[in-house]
Amino acid sequence: MDLNAKIYVAGHRGLVGSAILRALEEKGYRNLVLRTSSELDLRDREQVQQLFAEEGIDYVFLAAAKVGGIVANNDYPADFIRDNLMIQANVIDAAHRYEVKKLLFLGSTCIYPKLAPQPLKEEYLLTGELEPTNIAYAVAKIAGITMCQSYNRQFGTRFISAMPTNMYGPNDNFDPVTSHVLPALVRKFHEAKASGAAEVKIWGTGTPRREFLHSDDLAEACIFLMKFYEGNDIVNVGVGEDITIKELAGLIQSIVGYEGSLVFDSSVPDGTPRKLVDVSKIHALGWQAKIKLEDGLHAVYESFRESTLVNN
């Protein structure tokens, strides 16, 4: 992937896509193809085919997806499976038809069975039942993986798939309903501190364990895999460590400086009990995450606080 290669970052305004874009620009890549959702609807096959026909794209980072937290996934399953299936099918097929050199598809660790052994190894895919609250999203991602593998086998394409763990970082979604747990907690504690609230209610029991990877680390991993990994097997991307939601809440509470109490709402589903990925494969390839969770959280909160001040 030389510096003059034409690279399409699908979803370049999202949490992951924006991190990949920053990393590429920092490394000197300038021949980048970017389209906002208002300029290009990836769910529209004709629009996607036209993009690839006009641009002569060499490499694709497929980071575009409809994403959300446990509530959004549970409440809008049709939206999640429909939009993600259409986005993936259109981009992957166009990449084949217009002879893209290589494509990286970003999946998710929600593809693994709910009660799979921990840590999650790549070979656990399709060995058990999925978590019901996000099954639509997981099935869509599994379809994307299978599509990449199938095109490789039938057409000899070079389509690889990476499975990142729970993400956080700049350009995250802090919406109180549709966000994932980490940005949701950042917002809750910030608003509770600002309003002087006596307590913060947290969904679930606080006992599930989660692993958190900074988006800048994921971006580095994606570029690394694009350059150095060839194969039909999926690759986990994570840090290899996890914490409970209760511990995460306490860490964010301390960073924000909120002094009230925490109340856990056990009437809300916890989701998967634990989701820690086995990262031995990507470590053996030569890549490891660098950003510590506490350092990343400090940066995320400062960014959120500054954007809140600007918007207000």
Q: Which of 132, 161, 113 is nearest to 275 (CA)?
A: 113
Q: Report CA-CA distances (Å) from 13 to 19, 96, 125, 218.
A: 9, 24, 29, 15
Tokens at residue 292, please? Answer: 């510590």
Name the DSSP letter for residue 111.
G
* Residue 69 to residue 175: CA distance in whole angstroms: 10
Tokens at residue 176, please? Answer: 């109180």
Rg, Å, the chain Cα set: 19
Burial tier of 2 (Cβ tally within 10 Å: 0-12, 13-18, 19+)? exposed
**Is the torsion defined by CA of 217, 289, 206, 110 positive or negative?**
positive
> Annotated binding site: which residue ranges?
11-17, 106-109, 141, 180, 188, 203, 210, 270
Q: Where are the alpha helices (DSSP H) in the chain?
A: 15-26, 45-55, 70-75, 77-97, 135-155, 181-195, 215-228, 245-256, 280-285, 293-311
Catalytic residues: 137
Task: Show Cβ contacts of residue 290 under 8 Å, excluding neighbours closer than 6 positions.
Answer: 217, 220
* Residue 41 to residue 288: CA distance in whole angstroms: 34
**Token pair 């937290």 is at which residue?**
69
> Annotated binding site for NADP(+): which residue ranges?
11-17, 106-109, 141, 180
Q: Report phi then psi at 159, rounded to 5.
A: -110, 120
Terminal C-alpha separation, the chain: 43
Whether 166 contacts 108, CB under 8 Å: no
